[in-house]
Amino acid sequence: MWRLSCAALVAAALALPSPPAHALEVERSATPIGERPSALGETSLGSSRWSPASLPASTFVPRTEGGSLSSSGGGTLPSSAGGSSFRLDEVPSRLRERTRTLLGEFGARDEADGRIRITLLGDVLFDFDKSEVRPDARPVLNRLAELLAGYRQAAVAIEGHTDAKGDDDYNQALSERRAAAVKAYLAQRNAGAARLSTRGFGESRPVAPNTTPDGADDPEGRQRNRRVEFVIGPGTR
């Protein structure tokens, strides 16, 4: 009797229908919660999981001129951007693909004279009226240091800019202090202090109007003018 019951159970199990193939595919492709990317991740250079895509688009000053890339973060560098090369032939082959990706993420601009320009909003790097790098801006600058490692032989100019609100001399001094603070941070991240130079332009080089056509204050324009630009040589010094 026992042997017959076992045989009956085995036969019943074999008769059960197999799960559909698409169900198995869904189960295999599901990403465990613990493996989902974090918003910022660690901040140490080389191990940071931060991506500009995790920050709001306002982190970057929009660039619409020729040879520019998306400023909203998370972009990739086209293989042929209207003849723009971003001097990738200078980058060691082992770093070239990574540098290409970072150039896209930062919305880098390949200028006509061969220089590469990257622009970050000052509001992301600094608190209001301050020149100390914000702790939550460190992942951004860590990624930038990683990018600069690809252009190890190039000089890099760090340029500070402010909006037009306040005294001219005060804004000039603030832009200089901010550029110097960024240089100090990048030097700590092995970006090569000897090749980093700084300059403050105060409010003298706006990229957007500080006021509307009727003379009213333009907060968005002023935000774009508060920025730090990084110019990767040649001819930077």
pLDDT digits (tens, 9 = 90+) for 138-152: 999 999 999 999 999
Q: Contact 73/124 with Cβ under 8 angstroms?
A: no
Q: Is the pTM of this model over 0.85?
A: no
Domain ranges across the chain: 42-232
Closest C-alpha among 121, 160, 162 to residue 140: 121
Residue pLDDT tens, the chain, 237 long: 444 454 554 455 455 555 444 333 333 333 332 222 333 222 332 333 334 444 444 444 444 333 333 333 444 454 434 445 899 999 999 999 999 999 999 999 999 899 999 999 999 999 999 999 999 999 999 999 999 999 999 999 999 999 999 999 999 999 999 999 999 999 999 999 999 999 999 999 999 999 999 999 999 999 999 999 999 998 544
Tell me the two tokens of residue 108.
Answer: 């880098």
Q: Which CATH superfamily is domain 42-232 in?
A: OmpA-like domain (3.30.1330.60)
Dihedral sign for Cα 182, 185, 187, 190, please. negative
What gap in Å lies between CA 233 and CA 235, rounded to an integer?
5
